[in-house]
Structure 1
Amino acid sequence: MKIQLIGASGTGKSTLGLHIAEKEQIKWIDTDRYIWKDETFSENYPIDQRLKMYENDREKFDQFIVSGSVFAWNPTGFDDRDLLVFLTIDDKQRFQRLIKREVERGGQSSLWLDEHGNQTNDFLDWCKTYYTAKTPSDIGTLAEHNYQITHSKSPILKLDSSQSLDVLYQLIMQRVKR
Protein backbone atom coordinates (compact mmCIF):
# COMPACT_ATOMS: atom_id res chain seq x y z
CA MET A 1 0.00 0.00 0.00
CA LYS A 2 1.39 3.38 -1.08
CA ILE A 3 -0.75 6.42 -0.33
CA GLN A 4 0.11 10.09 -0.77
CA LEU A 5 -1.75 12.95 0.93
CA ILE A 6 -1.60 16.42 -0.60
CA GLY A 7 -3.41 19.66 0.16
CA ALA A 8 -2.82 23.14 1.51
CA SER A 9 -0.91 23.69 4.73
CA GLY A 10 -3.35 23.23 7.58
CA THR A 11 -5.55 20.59 5.93
CA GLY A 12 -4.26 17.91 8.31
CA LYS A 13 -1.96 15.89 6.05
CA SER A 14 0.57 15.11 8.78
CA THR A 15 -2.03 14.33 11.42
CA LEU A 16 -3.94 12.02 9.07
CA GLY A 17 -0.75 10.44 7.71
CA LEU A 18 0.48 9.56 11.19
CA HIS A 19 -2.98 8.23 12.12
CA ILE A 20 -3.11 5.92 9.10
CA ALA A 21 0.50 4.78 9.61
CA GLU A 22 -0.30 3.77 13.19
CA LYS A 23 -3.53 1.99 12.22
CA GLU A 24 -1.97 0.12 9.30
CA GLN A 25 1.48 -0.30 10.89
CA ILE A 26 3.25 1.15 7.86
CA LYS A 27 5.92 3.83 7.44
CA TRP A 28 4.81 7.46 7.64
CA ILE A 29 6.85 9.84 5.52
CA ASP A 30 6.46 13.55 6.17
CA THR A 31 7.98 15.31 3.16
CA ASP A 32 8.88 18.31 5.34
CA ARG A 33 11.62 16.04 6.71
CA TYR A 34 13.23 16.05 3.25
CA ILE A 35 13.11 19.83 2.99
CA TRP A 36 13.83 21.26 6.44
CA LYS A 37 16.87 20.54 8.59
CA ASP A 38 15.01 21.06 11.89
CA GLU A 39 11.80 22.16 13.54
CA THR A 40 12.56 25.85 13.09
CA PHE A 41 11.90 25.49 9.33
CA SER A 42 14.58 28.09 8.67
CA GLU A 43 17.26 26.09 6.85
CA ASN A 44 16.59 23.56 4.13
CA TYR A 45 18.52 20.68 2.65
CA PRO A 46 20.06 20.99 -0.81
CA ILE A 47 18.14 19.08 -3.48
CA ASP A 48 20.82 16.39 -3.89
CA GLN A 49 20.55 15.57 -0.18
CA ARG A 50 16.74 15.51 -0.37
CA LEU A 51 16.93 13.05 -3.24
CA LYS A 52 19.29 10.81 -1.27
CA MET A 53 16.93 10.75 1.76
CA TYR A 54 13.99 10.07 -0.56
CA GLU A 55 15.79 7.18 -2.29
CA ASN A 56 16.80 5.69 1.07
CA ASP A 57 13.17 5.67 2.22
CA ARG A 58 12.01 4.16 -1.07
CA GLU A 59 14.57 1.35 -0.78
CA LYS A 60 13.67 0.58 2.84
CA PHE A 61 9.87 0.67 2.73
CA ASP A 62 7.47 -1.18 0.43
CA GLN A 63 4.41 0.29 2.11
CA PHE A 64 3.99 3.85 3.29
CA ILE A 65 1.75 6.85 3.71
CA VAL A 66 3.21 10.17 2.56
CA SER A 67 2.12 13.54 3.92
CA GLY A 68 3.01 16.22 1.40
CA SER A 69 4.69 16.44 -1.93
CA VAL A 70 8.15 16.20 -3.43
CA PHE A 71 6.99 17.31 -6.88
CA ALA A 72 8.74 20.70 -6.96
CA TRP A 73 12.18 19.10 -6.57
CA ASN A 74 11.47 15.51 -7.69
CA PRO A 75 8.69 15.48 -10.33
CA THR A 76 8.60 11.67 -10.61
CA GLY A 77 8.57 11.09 -6.85
CA PHE A 78 5.82 8.84 -5.53
CA ASP A 79 4.37 8.34 -9.02
CA ASP A 80 3.97 4.62 -8.25
CA ARG A 81 1.47 5.25 -5.47
CA ASP A 82 -1.79 3.30 -5.18
CA LEU A 83 -3.85 6.35 -4.24
CA LEU A 84 -3.48 10.13 -4.28
CA VAL A 85 -5.63 11.83 -1.63
CA PHE A 86 -6.32 15.55 -2.01
CA LEU A 87 -7.41 17.14 1.27
CA THR A 88 -9.43 20.33 1.36
CA ILE A 89 -10.96 22.36 4.16
CA ASP A 90 -12.75 25.67 4.54
CA ASP A 91 -10.13 28.43 4.59
CA LYS A 92 -11.42 29.89 7.87
CA GLN A 93 -10.94 26.51 9.58
CA ARG A 94 -7.57 26.07 7.88
CA PHE A 95 -6.26 29.37 9.19
CA GLN A 96 -7.61 28.67 12.68
CA ARG A 97 -5.56 25.45 12.65
CA LEU A 98 -2.50 27.21 11.25
CA ILE A 99 -2.61 30.05 13.80
CA LYS A 100 -3.00 27.56 16.65
CA ARG A 101 -0.01 25.58 15.36
CA GLU A 102 2.12 28.71 14.96
CA VAL A 103 1.35 29.78 18.54
CA GLU A 104 2.19 26.26 19.80
CA ARG A 105 5.51 26.34 17.95
CA GLY A 106 6.64 29.91 18.52
CA GLY A 107 4.38 31.45 21.12
CA GLN A 108 2.02 34.38 20.73
CA SER A 109 5.00 36.65 20.05
CA SER A 110 5.63 34.83 16.75
CA LEU A 111 2.54 36.55 15.31
CA TRP A 112 1.65 40.14 14.55
CA LEU A 113 -1.47 41.86 13.29
CA ASP A 114 -1.84 42.63 9.59
CA GLU A 115 -3.56 45.71 8.14
CA HIS A 116 -6.97 44.01 8.65
CA GLY A 117 -6.28 43.14 12.30
CA ASN A 118 -5.70 39.43 11.59
CA GLN A 119 -2.91 37.47 13.25
CA THR A 120 -0.14 36.61 10.80
CA ASN A 121 3.55 35.94 10.29
CA ASP A 122 5.75 35.16 7.28
CA PHE A 123 4.58 31.53 7.09
CA LEU A 124 0.89 32.46 7.34
CA ASP A 125 1.39 35.13 4.67
CA TRP A 126 2.88 32.44 2.42
CA CYS A 127 -0.11 30.16 3.17
CA LYS A 128 -2.40 32.89 1.81
CA THR A 129 -0.82 32.39 -1.63
CA TYR A 130 -2.14 28.81 -1.91
CA TYR A 131 -4.89 29.77 -4.38
CA THR A 132 -3.12 32.61 -6.17
CA ALA A 133 0.17 30.94 -7.19
CA LYS A 134 0.01 29.98 -10.87
CA THR A 135 3.06 27.78 -11.49
CA PRO A 136 3.07 24.03 -10.74
CA SER A 137 6.64 24.35 -9.48
CA ASP A 138 5.39 26.63 -6.67
CA ILE A 139 5.62 24.11 -3.83
CA GLY A 140 2.56 23.58 -1.65
CA THR A 141 0.13 25.48 -3.88
CA LEU A 142 -3.11 24.63 -5.63
CA ALA A 143 -1.27 25.02 -8.96
CA GLU A 144 1.15 22.26 -7.93
CA HIS A 145 -1.62 20.05 -6.57
CA ASN A 146 -3.82 20.48 -9.65
CA TYR A 147 -0.87 19.52 -11.86
CA GLN A 148 -0.30 16.37 -9.80
CA ILE A 149 -4.00 15.49 -9.91
CA THR A 150 -4.21 16.05 -13.66
CA HIS A 151 -1.14 13.89 -14.34
CA SER A 152 -1.71 11.21 -11.70
CA LYS A 153 -1.38 7.60 -12.81
CA SER A 154 -3.12 6.49 -9.61
CA PRO A 155 -6.74 6.95 -8.56
CA ILE A 156 -7.53 10.24 -6.83
CA LEU A 157 -9.72 10.72 -3.79
CA LYS A 158 -10.78 14.23 -2.77
CA LEU A 159 -11.80 14.58 0.87
CA ASP A 160 -12.95 17.37 3.17
CA SER A 161 -10.54 17.11 6.08
CA SER A 162 -12.94 18.68 8.56
CA GLN A 163 -14.25 15.14 9.07
CA SER A 164 -12.90 13.03 11.93
CA LEU A 165 -9.64 11.13 11.51
CA ASP A 166 -11.48 7.81 11.77
CA VAL A 167 -13.97 8.77 9.03
CA LEU A 168 -11.13 9.92 6.75
CA TYR A 169 -9.19 6.74 7.51
CA GLN A 170 -12.21 4.55 6.66
CA LEU A 171 -12.88 6.41 3.38
CA ILE A 172 -9.25 6.07 2.32
CA MET A 173 -9.04 2.37 3.22
CA GLN A 174 -12.28 1.65 1.36
CA ARG A 175 -10.84 3.29 -1.75
CA VAL A 176 -7.48 1.52 -1.47
CA LYS A 177 -9.16 -1.88 -1.15
CA ARG A 178 -11.22 -1.42 -4.34
Structure 2
Amino acid sequence: MKIQLIGASGTGKSTLGNYIAEKEQIKWIDTDDYLWKDENFSENYPVQQRLKMYHDDRETFERFIVSGSVFSWNPTGFTDRDLLVFLTLDDEQRFQRLIKREIARGGIDSLWLDEQGYQTNDFLEWCKTYYTAQTPSDIGTFAEHNYQIVHSKSPVLKLDSSQPLEILYQSIKHIIEKNPL
Protein backbone atom coordinates (compact mmCIF):
# COMPACT_ATOMS: atom_id res chain seq x y z
CA MET A 1 0.00 0.00 0.00
CA LYS A 2 1.45 3.33 -1.14
CA ILE A 3 -0.89 6.27 -0.76
CA GLN A 4 -0.18 9.97 -1.23
CA LEU A 5 -2.40 12.73 0.17
CA ILE A 6 -2.27 16.18 -1.41
CA GLY A 7 -4.35 19.32 -1.00
CA ALA A 8 -4.14 22.88 0.26
CA SER A 9 -2.66 23.65 3.66
CA GLY A 10 -5.35 23.10 6.27
CA THR A 11 -7.24 20.34 4.46
CA GLY A 12 -6.11 17.74 7.00
CA LYS A 13 -3.43 15.80 5.10
CA SER A 14 -1.26 15.22 8.16
CA THR A 15 -4.17 14.36 10.41
CA LEU A 16 -5.58 11.85 7.93
CA GLY A 17 -2.14 10.45 7.07
CA ASN A 18 -1.36 9.79 10.72
CA TYR A 19 -4.82 8.28 11.26
CA ILE A 20 -4.47 5.86 8.34
CA ALA A 21 -0.91 4.93 9.31
CA GLU A 22 -2.13 3.93 12.77
CA LYS A 23 -5.10 1.98 11.39
CA GLU A 24 -3.03 0.13 8.79
CA GLN A 25 0.18 -0.11 10.85
CA ILE A 26 2.22 1.45 8.03
CA LYS A 27 4.78 4.25 7.87
CA TRP A 28 3.45 7.79 7.79
CA ILE A 29 5.69 10.19 5.88
CA ASP A 30 5.00 13.90 6.37
CA THR A 31 6.82 15.69 3.56
CA ASP A 32 7.23 18.74 5.79
CA ASP A 33 9.87 16.66 7.57
CA TYR A 34 11.89 16.65 4.33
CA LEU A 35 11.49 20.37 3.84
CA TRP A 36 11.88 21.94 7.28
CA LYS A 37 14.72 21.56 9.78
CA ASP A 38 12.69 22.84 12.72
CA GLU A 39 9.17 22.94 14.10
CA ASN A 40 9.04 26.70 13.51
CA PHE A 41 9.27 26.18 9.74
CA SER A 42 12.03 28.77 9.54
CA GLU A 43 14.91 26.88 7.91
CA ASN A 44 14.80 24.51 4.94
CA TYR A 45 16.93 21.46 4.39
CA PRO A 46 19.08 21.72 1.26
CA VAL A 47 17.64 19.75 -1.68
CA GLN A 48 20.46 17.17 -1.57
CA GLN A 49 19.65 16.38 2.06
CA ARG A 50 15.93 16.16 1.26
CA LEU A 51 16.69 13.70 -1.53
CA LYS A 52 18.76 11.56 0.84
CA MET A 53 15.99 11.48 3.46
CA TYR A 54 13.46 10.65 0.74
CA HIS A 55 15.69 7.88 -0.64
CA ASP A 56 16.30 6.45 2.85
CA ASP A 57 12.56 6.30 3.56
CA ARG A 58 11.87 4.66 0.20
CA GLU A 59 14.56 2.03 0.86
CA THR A 60 13.28 1.35 4.37
CA PHE A 61 9.49 1.29 3.93
CA GLU A 62 7.61 -0.73 1.35
CA ARG A 63 4.19 0.35 2.63
CA PHE A 64 3.46 3.96 3.53
CA ILE A 65 1.10 6.89 3.44
CA VAL A 66 2.49 10.28 2.46
CA SER A 67 1.02 13.61 3.54
CA GLY A 68 2.09 16.30 1.09
CA SER A 69 4.17 16.53 -2.01
CA VAL A 70 7.82 16.50 -3.02
CA PHE A 71 7.12 17.41 -6.64
CA SER A 72 8.70 20.88 -6.62
CA TRP A 73 12.13 19.52 -5.62
CA ASN A 74 11.80 15.89 -6.72
CA PRO A 75 9.48 15.62 -9.75
CA THR A 76 9.74 11.81 -9.85
CA GLY A 77 8.97 11.40 -6.15
CA PHE A 78 6.12 9.11 -5.14
CA THR A 79 5.13 8.38 -8.74
CA ASP A 80 4.89 4.67 -7.91
CA ARG A 81 1.99 5.18 -5.55
CA ASP A 82 -1.10 2.99 -5.61
CA LEU A 83 -3.49 5.89 -4.99
CA LEU A 84 -3.34 9.68 -5.10
CA VAL A 85 -5.87 11.34 -2.79
CA PHE A 86 -6.70 15.01 -3.33
CA LEU A 87 -8.29 16.57 -0.24
CA THR A 88 -10.51 19.62 -0.61
CA LEU A 89 -12.17 21.83 1.95
CA ASP A 90 -14.28 24.96 1.83
CA ASP A 91 -11.90 27.92 2.19
CA GLU A 92 -13.78 29.34 5.17
CA GLN A 93 -13.38 26.07 7.09
CA ARG A 94 -9.80 25.71 5.87
CA PHE A 95 -8.80 29.14 7.14
CA GLN A 96 -10.56 28.55 10.46
CA ARG A 97 -8.40 25.44 10.86
CA LEU A 98 -5.27 27.29 9.77
CA ILE A 99 -5.81 30.21 12.16
CA LYS A 100 -6.44 27.82 15.04
CA ARG A 101 -3.24 25.93 14.16
CA GLU A 102 -1.19 29.12 13.86
CA ILE A 103 -2.38 30.27 17.30
CA ALA A 104 -1.53 26.84 18.77
CA ARG A 105 1.95 26.99 17.24
CA GLY A 106 2.89 30.63 17.79
CA GLY A 107 0.31 32.15 20.10
CA ILE A 108 -2.16 34.89 19.36
CA ASP A 109 0.72 37.36 18.99
CA SER A 110 1.88 35.51 15.87
CA LEU A 111 -1.12 36.99 14.03
CA TRP A 112 -2.14 40.50 13.06
CA LEU A 113 -5.29 41.96 11.53
CA ASP A 114 -5.36 42.54 7.78
CA GLU A 115 -7.13 45.44 6.06
CA GLN A 116 -10.49 43.64 6.31
CA GLY A 117 -9.97 42.91 10.02
CA TYR A 118 -9.17 39.20 9.60
CA GLN A 119 -6.40 37.49 11.55
CA THR A 120 -3.39 36.73 9.38
CA ASN A 121 0.37 36.26 9.22
CA ASP A 122 2.90 35.58 6.47
CA PHE A 123 2.00 31.89 6.25
CA LEU A 124 -1.73 32.59 6.04
CA GLU A 125 -1.09 35.21 3.36
CA TRP A 126 0.81 32.57 1.39
CA CYS A 127 -2.09 30.13 1.88
CA LYS A 128 -4.36 32.64 0.16
CA THR A 129 -2.36 32.10 -3.06
CA TYR A 130 -3.28 28.41 -3.31
CA TYR A 131 -5.67 28.91 -6.25
CA THR A 132 -3.94 31.90 -7.86
CA ALA A 133 -0.41 30.49 -8.27
CA GLN A 134 0.05 29.44 -11.89
CA THR A 135 3.23 27.37 -12.04
CA PRO A 136 3.24 23.63 -11.23
CA SER A 137 6.64 24.07 -9.58
CA ASP A 138 5.05 26.39 -6.97
CA ILE A 139 5.06 24.06 -3.98
CA GLY A 140 1.79 23.46 -2.17
CA THR A 141 -0.44 25.16 -4.75
CA PHE A 142 -3.40 24.03 -6.81
CA ALA A 143 -1.22 24.39 -9.93
CA GLU A 144 1.21 21.82 -8.51
CA HIS A 145 -1.55 19.51 -7.29
CA ASN A 146 -3.53 19.72 -10.51
CA TYR A 147 -0.41 18.83 -12.49
CA GLN A 148 0.03 15.73 -10.34
CA ILE A 149 -3.63 14.79 -10.73
CA VAL A 150 -3.58 15.17 -14.51
CA HIS A 151 -0.35 13.19 -14.89
CA SER A 152 -0.98 10.53 -12.23
CA LYS A 153 -0.45 6.94 -13.31
CA SER A 154 -2.32 5.77 -10.22
CA PRO A 155 -6.03 6.21 -9.58
CA VAL A 156 -7.00 9.62 -8.16
CA LEU A 157 -9.59 10.01 -5.43
CA LYS A 158 -10.97 13.45 -4.59
CA LEU A 159 -12.41 13.77 -1.08
CA ASP A 160 -14.04 16.56 0.89
CA SER A 161 -12.04 16.57 4.10
CA SER A 162 -14.84 18.06 6.18
CA GLN A 163 -16.02 14.47 6.63
CA PRO A 164 -15.04 12.45 9.73
CA LEU A 165 -11.63 10.73 9.58
CA GLU A 166 -13.17 7.26 9.65
CA ILE A 167 -15.36 8.04 6.61
CA LEU A 168 -12.32 9.36 4.70
CA TYR A 169 -10.30 6.30 5.69
CA GLN A 170 -13.07 3.91 4.58
CA SER A 171 -13.39 5.72 1.23
CA ILE A 172 -9.66 5.31 0.62
CA LYS A 173 -9.65 1.70 1.81
CA HIS A 174 -12.55 0.92 -0.54
CA ILE A 175 -10.62 2.23 -3.57
CA ILE A 176 -7.45 0.36 -2.56
CA GLU A 177 -9.41 -2.89 -2.14
CA LYS A 178 -11.20 -2.33 -5.46
CA ASN A 179 -7.88 -1.81 -7.27
CA PRO A 180 -5.60 -4.51 -5.81
CA LEU A 181 -1.87 -3.94 -6.08
The answer to whether TM tops 0.5 is: yes
How many residues are treated as equivalent by the alignment? 178
Deviation per CA, 1:82-124, whole angstroms, max 9, x where unpaired? 0000000000000000000000000000000000000000000
Identity of aligned residues (%): 79
Match of 1:10 in 2: 10
Displacement of 1:28:
0.1
Deviation per CA, 1:104-146, whole angstroms, max 9, x where unpaired? 0000000000000000000000000000000000000000000
Provide the rounded CA distance (Å) in 2 between the counterparts of 1:79 and 1:46.
22
Displacement of 1:51:
0.1
Displacement of 1:163:
0.1
Moved over 6 A (4+): none
Provide the rounded CA distance (Å) in 2 between the counterparts of 1:144 and 1:48.
21
- Structure 1: segments with no counterpart, 5+ residues: none
Q: Give the TM-score of the pair, scaled to structure 2.
A: 0.98
Q: Give the TM-score of the pair, scaled to structure 1.
A: 1.00
* Structure 2 counterparts to residues 115-126 of structure 1, below 5 A: 115-126=115-126
Displacement of 1:64:
0.1
Provide the rounded CA distance (Å) in 1 between the counterparts of 2:110 and 2:73.
29
* Structure 2 counterparts to residues 52-67 of structure 1, below 5 A: 52-67=52-67
Letter in 1 for 2:30: D
Provide the rounded CA distance (Å) in 2 between the counterparts of 1:117 and 1:168.
34
- Structure 2: segments with no counterpart, 5+ residues: none
Deviation per CA, 1:3-40, whole angstroms, max 9, x where unpaired? 00000000000000000000000000000000000100
